[in-house]
Amino acid sequence: MTNDVQDPGTWPLPTFHFSVDIGDWQGLVFQEVTGLETASQVIEYRAADSKPFSTVKMPGIGKLGNVILKKGMVPNDDKFSAWFSQIKMNTIKRVPVVIKLLDEKGNTTMMWTLKNAFPVKVTGTDLKADGNEVAVDALELAHEGVTVQNG
């Protein structure tokens, strides 16, 4: 076990300053990004000649979660719906999606790149006569892998 001591001048990164690039759409501003996750299925295995009457656990096939992007609705902005409407028998345009966590000066501190992303769901805002919230669109993306880079 290593003795990793955090530098007292180093603070955890805040999550509120980020930008998103979707294919050719650069520097998009979103309210929220969720679903940046990868997981592995667990396989339980017991060899026929194993003396204990129990299994061992091994990593199996990897699983990727869908990523959900939420942003405030603005008039005449229908690019996500237009992209989603192109889905026809696996002919949707797949693009890289780059999510950048930024520092106070706008420099990239962390970067997640989604490989071959495409929309699987577009959700419009909830409407309430007595509400006072901002109208929010959501775009759900499936992808074929995520890489994470520091700085």
pLDDT digits (tens, 9 = 90+) for 131-143: 888 889 999 999 9
Indicate the length of the chain as a whole number: 151
Identify the CA nearest to 71 among candidates 59, 79, 63, 61: 79
Q: What is the predicted pLDDT for the residue at 39? A: 92
Give the chain's end-to-end CA distance (angstroms, integer).
Answer: 26
The per-residue pLDDT of the chain, averaged, comes to 86
Reading the block at residue 151, the tokens are 């700085």
Q: Is 17 exposed, middle or buried (0-12, 13-18, 19+ CB in 10 A)?
A: middle
Q: How far apart are CA 70 and CA 122, in angstroms?
A: 10
**34-82 per-position pLDDT tens digit:** 999 989 999 998 877 777 778 888 999 999 999 999 998 888 888 888 8
Delineate the domains of the chain, giving CATH numbers in brackets: 18-150 (2.30.110)
Cα 26–Cα 78–Cα 35 angle in degrees, nearest 5: 60
Residue burial 51-68, b: 16+ Cβ < 10 Å; e: rest: eeeeeeeeeeeeebebbb
Say which residue, 149 or 131, is predicted with more confidence.
149
Q: What is the predicted pLDDT for the residue at 82? A: 85
CB 35 within 8 A of CB 68: yes
**What is the rounded (10 degree) CA torsion for 51, 57, 58, 60?**
130
